[in-house]
Chain A
Amino acid sequence: DSGVTQTPKHLITATGQRVTLRCSPRSGDLSVYWYQQSLDQGLQFLIQYYNGEERAKGNILERFSAQQFPDLHSELNLSSLELGDSALYFCASSPRWGEQYFGPGTRLTVT
């Protein structure tokens, strides 16, 4: 157990819908990273937050957004969902640069 929690574990939704994935980092970790893992694209970095502020952006689509709240939990919002958005979404928390602790992931299925 890494100490990072993600909810929900599984999510099934229809195309065009919007979902919110939640991540609670390890106690004391200020930094949260979001990743998407799909069969064809592998593990892709989406976005990083540090203490409530966006720090880095990777291959995140405009339909996706994220935020980190004062209690340091983070949410990833995915809208206008397409079949190709079906994937595992991981968050990782980090106490210092170079050290990431991954959560169990949320498996999103878009039908």
Chain B
Amino acid sequence: AQSVSQHNHHVILSEAASLELGCNYSYGGTVNLFWYVQYPGQHLQLLLKYFSGDPLVKGIKGFEAEFIKSKFSFNLRKPSVQWSDTAEYFCAVNADNYGQNFVFGPGTRLSVLP
């Protein structure tokens, strides 16, 4: 079965620091990849998605992610975080033979200190 791992359970950064959250998946075929964010007390929101084409994907709020097929990775980056980026971040994968089934990673909690 496909699985998704996220490298860090909890990341603490100061404002203006750069961010990289790791995401790796286990499936070797065609995949579609997503990052979602859940701000405290709010619902999950889509940050960005990758289906095909340019492996560097830009999302909302200055986030981007890079798909590296050889490493089965889809890491999320932001050059300079803000206090308002404090949230939980989830990576999700949909593999071609899983149809509509989305597999989410366990999440990484990001705390940005002002």
Residues of A in contact with B (beta carbons under 8 Å apart): 2, 4, 33, 35, 42-45, 48, 55-58, 90, 92, 97-105
19 new A-B pairs (CB below 8 Å) besides A45-B101, A98-B94, A100-B46?
Answer: A33-B100, A42-B106, A43-B90, A43-B104, A43-B107, A44-B104, A45-B103, A45-B104, A55-B100, A56-B98, A57-B101, A58-B101, A90-B44, A92-B44, A98-B32, A98-B34, A99-B49, A102-B36, A105-B43
Whether the pair B101, A103 counts as a contact (CB closer than 8 A) is no
Distance in angstroms between the alpha carbons of A48 and B98 in the assembled complex: 12
User: Interface of chain A, helix or strand or loop or mixed?
Assistant: strand
Residues of B in contact with A (beta carbons under 8 Å apart): 32, 34, 36, 42-46, 49, 51, 90, 94, 98-107
- Chain A residue contacts of B105, Cβ below 8 A: 42
Among the listed B98, B100, B107, which residue makes an inter-chain contact with A97, where contact means beta carbons less than 8 Å apart? Answer: B100
Whether the pair B104, A2 counts as a contact (CB closer than 8 A) is no
- Chain B residue contacts of A90, Cβ below 8 A: 43-44
- Chain B residue contacts of A4, Cβ below 8 A: 43
- Chain A residue contacts of B42, Cβ below 8 A: 104
Question: Nearest Cβ distance between residue B49 and chain A, in whole angstroms?
Answer: 6
- Chain A residue contacts of B34, Cβ below 8 A: 98
Whether A102 touches B44, Cβ cut-off 8 Å, given contacts A42-B107, A43-B90, A43-B107, is yes
Whether A2 touches B43, Cβ cut-off 8 Å, given contacts A42-B106, A43-B107, A98-B51, is yes
Enumerate 12 A-B pairs (CB-CB under 8 Å) in ascending A order: A4-B43, A42-B105, A44-B104, A45-B102, A45-B103, A48-B100, A56-B99, A58-B101, A90-B44, A97-B100, A99-B49, A101-B46
Among the listed A45, A48, A98, which residue makes an inter-chain contact with B49, where contact means beta carbons less than 8 Å apart? Answer: A98
- Chain B residue contacts of A56, Cβ below 8 A: 98-101
Distance in angstroms between the alpha carbons of A103 and B106 in the assembled complex: 19
- Chain A residue contacts of B99, Cβ below 8 A: 55-56
Distance in angstroms between the alpha carbons of A23 and B103 in the assembled complex: 21
Interface pairs A-B: 4 shortest CB-CB? A56-B100, A43-B104, A102-B44, A102-B43
Whether the pair A99, B46 counts as a contact (CB closer than 8 A) is yes
